[in-house]
Structure 1
Amino acid sequence: MENRVTEQTSAYDNLQDMSVRDILTGINREDSLVPGAVAKVIPTMEQLVERIVERMKNGGRMFYIGAGTSGRLGVTDASELPPTYGVPFDLVIGLIAGGDGALRKAVERAEDDPEGAWRDLEPFRPTAQDVLIGIAASGTTPYVVGGLREARRHGLLTGAITCNPASPVAAEAEYALEAVVGPEFVTGSTRMKAGTAQKLMLNMISTSVMIKLGRVEGNRMVNMQITNAKLVGRGTRMIAEAAGIGEEQARELLLRWGSVKEALGHIGK
């Protein structure tokens, strides 16, 4: 692991002796390097997204697999898509080594099982029409390496999100997104820059896929689920602005039809 960028020694030392201002400034300085590293993977990400959209338009699903921070980020991204874009909860599925209990508490050695990811995927009956994205900051996690290898053997489209160059995880994926953000502020703490880079890449992939699947109109989340007062208010404003009507009428239409898209489709009918 000594040659892995994510494990290299921080450019900062004696952190315990730094002032709070200097700690915060240092972290922020390191964070500013992340968008540039992510920008370099856009050409590969573009190809991956286009192929994901093609498969999902034909009934395919997308799975994320990861361990620790990487797994939590995948589960978070997947869980936010149904309320945001009104898609079925099982269209994009996030799996973490050790199961859902690992979202809150680390499960010992779960990430070291190369057969664990496919075992976790099997209840969903993956097919060659599906997509698997493996997420691993180090690019060495056996859970992710094994999952990608088996998925590819079964004909799934595979992608990888990593923060080390030329990693085993990248070698197993058809499309490897390698955002090399450099050593962490706290040596080896990949929940920091690497985690931020992974979050940005997941945002980019899932958002662009949702847009291309028709879940956005203009710049609005017209299919979002209206599950709380904030979202009812947001949906009301969307309808009022788009249709040129008052907010009271817009709210009534939203609550009657259940989504911005449905409400706008029934105006004037």
Structure 2
Amino acid sequence: MTFIKTTEQASNYDHLEKMTVNELLGHINKEDQCVPIAVEKALPQIKALVAQIVNKLKNAGRLFYIGAGTSGRLGILDASECPPTFGVAPEMVIGIIAGGDLAIRNAVEFAEDSTTQGWLDLQFHKITAKDVVIGLAASGTTPYVVSALEACNQHDIITGCVTCNQDSPLAKTSNFPIEVIVGPEFVSGSSRMKAGTAQKLVLNMISTSVMIQLGRVKGNRMVDMQLSNTKLVERAVTMLMQELNIEKEEAQTLIKRHKNVRTALMNYKDGRDK
């Protein structure tokens, strides 16, 4: 059976260069609206993978995202936001991109075509069966990613993926595939568009739900966030004011002393700081 990439099929629109800006924006927006619907169809797959990640991370495991190009950058973005948002160690969620850090900003020619480098990049982090690896590739065929997951399977490491083509080699390689089928792109083959949006939505869902399950959110608040700028300090002060029913000055004092919302809450008993 021939594998067909819907992400590479011709756009439903033609003569884009003849469209007005208003027409371009309207058509792009119309296409984008199908993405959350496609993600919704993949919820059972997302749930299955999240359960595996939660189990591993509760037992000192780590989560790895590995991808190339746009997919790799999205993985790095999601991983890099976990420490400041949820207060976890940078080593808990790690993003790896074909071509290394240079590829975050610049295309590295043929980096995604290697069938050995992906596993080497994972080995650099001393990956073990305690960990989970999610391969990111809109096409579902990227050699760097597929071969890395094949090696993980050989070493009893749980694998998942996020792809935008049905029955792709990557999905067939993954223990827990997530397939979000968004169809042809507005600009034919430009998978940074709908496919990239779909991957971003799924990664948001994975990391957020996992961190909530790990106890990194209280109520609906990021009580473990890193207070790395004035905005976040002010947000922390507001959290304490609302949670403890105290005045702003007292909340500011608590934050200066404990430098963390959760710690401040835990040490505030019977109307005073312990």
Alignment match, 1:260: 261
Q: Secondary structure at the match of 1:65?
A: strand
Deviation at 1:251, TM superposition (A): 1.5
Q: Which runs of 4+ in 1 moved over 6 A?
A: none
Alignment match, 1:16: 17
CA contact (8 A) 1:73 1:199 kept: yes
Deviation at 1:155, TM superposition (A): 1.0
Deviation at 1:3, TM superposition (A): 2.6
Task: Measure the CA separation in 1 of the matches of 2:3 and 2:185.
Answer: 14
CA contact (8 A) 2:3 2:168 kept: no
Alignment match, 1:198: 199
Alignment match, 1:38: 39
User: Is residue 2:250 matched to residue 1:249?
Assistant: yes
For normalisation by structure 1, the TM-score amounts to 0.98
Alignment match, 1:179: 180
Task: Measure the CA separation in 1 of the matches of 2:126 and 2:3.
Answer: 38
Q: Secondary structure at the match of 2:48?
A: helix
Q: Secondary structure at the match of 2:188?
A: coil
Deviations 1:115-169 (A, max 9, x none): 1111111121111010000000000000000011001111111101000000011
Alignment match, 2:168: 167
Deviation at 1:111, TM superposition (A): 0.1
CA contact (8 A) 1:74 1:95 kept: yes
Deviation at 1:56, TM superposition (A): 0.6
C-alpha RMSD over aligned residues: 1.0
User: Is residue 2:101 matched to residue 1:79?
Assistant: no
Q: Secondary structure at the match of 2:235?
A: helix
Q: Which runs of 5+ in 1 are unaligned?
A: none
Alignment match, 2:159: 158
Q: Which runs of 5+ in 2 are unaligned?
A: none
Q: How many corresponding residue pairs?
A: 269
Deviations 1:51-94 (A, max 9, x none): 11011101100000000000000000000000000000010000
Moved more, 83-92 or 1-10: 1-10
For normalisation by structure 2, the TM-score amounts to 0.97
Deviations 1:148-205 (A, max 9, x none): 1001111111101000000011011011100000100000000000000000000000
CA contact (8 A) 1:2 1:8 kept: no
Q: Secondary structure at the match of 1:252?
A: helix
Q: Secondary structure at the match of 1:51?
A: helix
Q: Secondary structure at the match of 1:93?
A: strand
Alignment match, 2:130: 129
Question: Which amino acid in the other structure matches residue 162 of structure 1?
Answer: T
Q: Secondary structure at the match of 2:135?
A: strand
